[in-house]
Amino acid sequence: MGKASGFIEYQRLEAAHRPVNERIRDYDEFILPPEEEDLRVQAARCMDCGVSFCHAGLIVDGASIGCPLTNIIPEINDMVYRGDIKGAYERLSKTHPFPEFTGRVCPALCEGSCTLGEHEKPVAIKNIERYIIDAMFGMDGIKPRIPKNRTGKRVAVIGSGPSGLSCADMLNQLGNKVTVFERSDRPGGLLMYGIPNMKLDKEVLMRRVSLLEEEGVKFILNTEIGIDYPVMVLMNEYDAIVLCIGSTEQRTIQVPGKDLNGVHTSIEFLSKNTKSLLDSGLRDGKYISAKDKDVIIIGGGDTGTDCAATSIRHGARSVAQLEIMPSLPETRAESNPWPLWPRVSKTDYGQEEAIELFGRDPREYLTTVKEILDDGKGNVAGVKTVRVEWFNQNGRFIYKEVENSEEIRPAGLVLTAMGFLGPEKTLIEQLQLETDARGNIKANDDYASSLMTVFAAGDARRGPSLVVWALSEGRKAAVKCSEYLNGKY
């Protein structure tokens, strides 16, 4: 543990953010790096828990308890409190492949299950994690880990998102020869093109990719397996394949006007912005601009928030996030007790920026779009919205429209951020893989698909989820794949 009385003496210290009027003018990370002394004080708050839930990595009634990577957080916090950053990193790296990613984009499942968080604000574990890895890179304390022995087995990892990167890392450390295939022009998948630069600087991502290459992982870009590269040829060339293709089929809105110019999915909007930013600093104009437009975002989750923040940086006239569900409560509901992940309302960075810029929270709950309106030339002119109310009908929650609540709102850009349905079907159909009821690749606890030598991990296997779950899945799939290849099962 940290300091015996630390949880009594010290309060939670949130990560500092750059001022809104400064950060909306660029795409640099909006969270400021913390001071070591602040993190040592924060680590001192870690309690001598009889049973620690922060690293449990469990699912109970569909809700998460603790970190899926099972990072031994109390030991790490104790080392940080005592000033042993190198020791903390060594302990963290035993379970966590890429703390620099989750330290920036994870909602911190560990904090939701922190014992202190049952009655007080939890330990700021996420900030501590980010500090450890950034400090180690800053002092040039992270060196390539070259495997001493090689198995002679060749494994192809399809997809370079979080599950693909963690799978490739673990497979390589286990001595296999690993090639990662990515259809985009840059590696990283969701980390590269699904998360804006102000949340995860792409130099941080590429720093890790470069390290993986030094360690022996090969990346082949601009190559879509099943289209550019026949999958059966791949199967003949490699001893095993791990599908880490994510859950990229986006849920789209089915209303009149959905095909008008100016209606885009969130991923199309975010990915084009990041590519143009990296290619030319947005000077090439090859992105979907929100400048001087009234932006309607359909979806109130994290991706919708990213769309709002990006639109604000473009210079949008206004931004609104429409969410069909009610707002989450300010505190835990009785049905959501500790140590389950707290389903409570939060104001994220995109909302903070909209509130300061436009004077109000952009989120509007219990509201849905009935129609997207045409300007007469095939372009978006506005949306027709309606308020809804939810009720329980024989154990199922359904909604109905509120009478006389229709409203016409101006819009020059409509972005759908309504979640994801499952993995794309090209490879699944070519390999004739079994799928579950939700269309995900069917693979049990051994991560093996219905086709011998083909494994699956991440969102493609478990459904749309968090980066930290994808990292956990990739590592576990790599172990199972390597055991299979080396005759251990």
Asked whether residue 325 falls in the same domain as residue 414, the answer is yes
**Domain total in the chain:** 3
Asked whether residue 318 falls in the same domain as residue 387, the answer is yes
Q: What's the sign of the alpha-carbon dihedral 88, 465, 246, 483? A: positive
Contact (CB, 8 A) for 390 and 397? yes
Give the integer Cα–Cα distance in Å for 80 and 68: 21
Structure tokens at 333: 């509901």
Q: Residue 3: what pLDDT?
A: 83
Give the integer Cα–Cα distance in Å for 247 and 463: 7
Give the integer Cα–Cα distance in Å for 355 and 376: 33
Q: Residue 96: what pLDDT?
A: 97
Asked whether residue 447 falls in the same domain as residue 407, the answer is no
Return the H-helix or E-strand segment holding 211: helix 202-215
C-alpha dist (Å) from residue 54 to 84, 121, 335 = 21, 14, 20
Running DSSP on this structure, what letter comes out for residue 118?
Answer: G
Asked whether residue 209 falls in the same domain as residue 308, the answer is no
Q: Which of 382, 403, 418 is the last residue in one of the domains?
A: 418
pTM: 0.95
Q: Is residue 144 in some structural domain?
A: no
Return the H-helix or E-strand segment holding 75: helix 73-81
Q: Is residue 460 in some structural domain?
A: yes
Asked whether residue 264 falls in the same domain as residue 306, the answer is yes
Q: Which amino acid is at 376?
A: G
Give the integer Cα–Cα distance in Å for 264 and 379: 12
Structure tokens at 346: 């939060």
Shortest CA distance to 262 belongs to which of 382, 376, 379, 410? 379
Structure tokens at 426: 């090209």
Asked whether residue 391 falls in the same domain as residue 429, the answer is no
Other C-beta atoms closer than 10 Å to the C-beta of 352 total 17
Asked whether residue 114 falls in the same domain as residue 197, the answer is no
Give the integer Cα–Cα distance in Å for 338 and 210: 40
Contact (CB, 8 A) for 421 and 429? no
Q: Is residue 149 in some structural domain?
A: no
CA atoms within 13 Å, Cβ hemisphere of 373: 13
**CATH number, residue 182:** 3.50.50.60
Asked whether residue 284 falls in the same domain as residue 412, the answer is yes
**CATH number, residue 29:** 1.10.1060.10
Q: Is residue 166 in some structural domain?
A: yes
Asked whether residue 80 falls in the same domain as residue 190, the answer is no
Q: Is residue 412 in some structural domain?
A: yes
Q: Is residue 263 in some structural domain?
A: yes
Q: What is the pLDDT along the chain (489 residues), one digit of tens a residue?
A: 678 888 999 999 999 999 999 999 999 999 999 888 999 999 999 998 888 999 999 998 888 899 999 999 999 999 999 999 999 999 999 999 999 999 999 999 999 999 999 989 999 999 999 999 999 999 999 999 999 999 999 999 999 999 999 999 999 999 999 999 999 999 999 999 999 999 999 999 999 999 999 999 999 999 999 999 999 999 999 999 999 999 999 999 999 999 999 999 999 999 999 999 999 999 999 999 999 999 999 998 999 999 999 999 999 999 999 999 999 999 999 999 999 999 999 999 999 999 999 999 999 999 999 999 999 999 999 999 999 999 988 888 999 999 999 999 999 999 999 999 999 999 999 999 999 999 999 998 899 999 999 999 999 999 999 999 999 999 999 999 999 998 865
Q: Is residue 282 in some structural domain?
A: yes
Q: Which of 138, 168, 196 is the last residue in one of the domains?
A: 138
Give the integer Cα–Cα distance in Å for 293 and 313: 12
187 backbone dihedrals φ, ψ, rounded to 5°: -80, 160
Q: Which of 79, 103, 138 is the last residue in one of the domains?
A: 138
Asked whether residue 336 falls in the same domain as residue 411, the answer is yes
Q: Residue 488: what pLDDT?
A: 63
Asked whether residue 414 falls in the same domain as residue 266, the answer is yes
Q: Is residue 1 in some structural domain?
A: no
Asked whether residue 344 falls in the same domain as residue 476, the answer is no
Place of tokens 């939670």: 12
For residue 291, the enclosing domain spans 252-418
Give the integer Cα–Cα distance in Å for 306 and 348: 9
